[in-house]
């Protein structure tokens, strides 16, 4: 009887692991905080880890090895009260490239408006149908964005359902006295990112995002020429979009995730392909223009 019970417990545990979508590393850095007991931030770190990794975010079944690799670093910068804090959060997500041990970065964003309220051992509650707290709303928003980007990289507009959920959270938070949820809070925040993703004028960019990953990167394992050409065509699409909608947040975040990858990719490309790519990249990602130009000189 005991063996049967143990077997059932193990089976249930494995099933629970298989149901989760995220493999999210969480770090809370509170070195700048001097008044609050450091133990609170350790319990916060554990609570955020559990919230991100044990909640079921989709209706799909994931095997443990299929979970989406991501990380959240929360750096607490100020104590606003005994249980309210101002912080910055670094959110990164990656997806594996077929036929390799390389993981391609999909999101690399610094959220500078990460205010939250938390008391030690407080349960992190989230309800899709209503705003519960700024902390869980932000965490859920990024969970859905991470999942949406991953799905978009494997299927054309595959992340629609999850981007809509992220947009719903933004709408629910529109009347909340917290930064990052509204258009007038700045030009690079949670509102503008999901607004860009769901804006029809950027729909072609999402198609290019799929082509870049699924038809480009995922085919490099057996062909070093054609997939690079596909990626160059994706860059051409981005260049066309950028001409009509310059300096969009969605474009900026694409290149904050991809600049190093693109430099490595085109360092091995043919001279013709390299020249085409550099002409697009210097316009699309001017911050790294000098590094792209060096691809042509072989430095």
pLDDT score, position 254: 98
pLDDT digits over 147-159, tens only? Answer: 999 999 999 999 9
Residues 159 and 184 in one domain: yes
Residues 57 and 188 in one domain: yes
Domain boundary pick from 173, 198, 223: 198
Give the chain's mean pLDDT.
Answer: 92
Question: pLDDT-based confidence at 299, cuts 50/70/90?
Answer: low
For residues 23-35, b (16+ Cβ closer than 10 Å) or e, as one string?
bbebebbbeebee
Task: Give the strand pairing for 103-111 and 84-96.
Answer: antiparallel
In-domain check, residue 194? yes
| pLDDT value at 203 more than 60 | yes
| pLDDT value at 8 more than 90 | no
pLDDT digits over 219-238, tens only? Answer: 999 998 999 999 999 999 99
Residues 143 and 191 in one domain: yes
In-domain check, residue 207? no
In-domain check, residue 209? no
pLDDT digits over 68-80, tens only? Answer: 999 999 999 999 9
Residues 30 and 166 in one domain: yes
In-domain check, residue 283? yes
Q: In terms of residue numbers, what domain contains 245? A: 215-299
Q: What mean pLDDT do residues 57-69 have?
A: 95
Give the residue from 79, 64, 73 showing the smallest Cα distance to 108.
73
Residues 147 and 237 in one domain: no
| pLDDT value at 213 more than 50 | yes
| pLDDT value at 126 more than 90 | yes
In-domain check, residue 33? yes
| pLDDT value at 16 more than 90 | no
pLDDT score, position 188: 95
Give the chain's count of helices (H) and strands (E).
10, 5
Token readout for 91 is: 């959110």
Q: Which residue has the higher pLDDT, 36 or 159?
A: 159
Domain boundary pick from 139, 166, 198: 198
Residues 75 and 135 in one domain: yes
| pLDDT value at 137 more than 90 | yes
| pLDDT value at 190 more than 60 | yes
Question: pLDDT-based confidence at 12, cuts 50/70/90?
Answer: very low
Residues 237 and 118 in one domain: no
CA-to-CA dists, residue 14 to 8, 52, 66, 68, 222, angstroms: 10, 18, 14, 17, 35
């Amino acid at each position: 009887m005991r063996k049967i019970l143990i077997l059932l417990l193990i089976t249930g545990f494995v099933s629970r692991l298989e149901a989760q979508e995220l493999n999210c590393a969480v770090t809370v850095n509170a070195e700048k905080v001097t008044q609050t007991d450091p133990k609170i931030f350790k319990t916060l770190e554990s609570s955020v880890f559990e919230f991100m990794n044990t909640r079921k975010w989709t209706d799909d079944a994931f095997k443990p090895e299929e979970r989406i690799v991501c990380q959240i670093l929360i750096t607490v910068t100020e104590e606003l009260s005994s249980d309210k804090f101002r912080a910055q959060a670094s959110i990164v997500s990656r997806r594996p490239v077929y036929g390799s041990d390389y993981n391609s970065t999909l999101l690399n964003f610094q959220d500078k408006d990460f205010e939250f309220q938390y008391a030690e051992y407080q349960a992190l509650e989230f309800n899709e149908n209503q705003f519960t707290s700024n902390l869980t709303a932000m965490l859920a928003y990024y969970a859905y964005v991470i999942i949406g980007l991953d799905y978009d990289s494997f299927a054309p507009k595959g992340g629609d359902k999850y981007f809509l959920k992220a947009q719903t959270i933004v709408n629910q938070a529109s009347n909340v006295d917290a930064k990052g949820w509204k258009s007038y809070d700045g030009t690079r925040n949670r509102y503008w990112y999901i607004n860009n993703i769901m804006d029809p004028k950027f729909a072609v960019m999402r198609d290019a995002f799929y082509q870049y990953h699924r038809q480009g990167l995922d085919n490099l394992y057996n062909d070093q020429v054609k997939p690079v050409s596909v990626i160059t065509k994706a860059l051409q699409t981005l260049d066309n979009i950028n001409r009509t909608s310059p300096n969009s947040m969605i474009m900026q975040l694409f290149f904050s995730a991809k600049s190093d990858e693109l430099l490595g990719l085109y360092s091995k490309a043919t001279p013709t392909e390299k020249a085409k790519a550099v002409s697009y990249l210097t316009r699309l990602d001017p911050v790294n223009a000098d590094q792209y130009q060096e691809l042509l000189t072989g430095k």
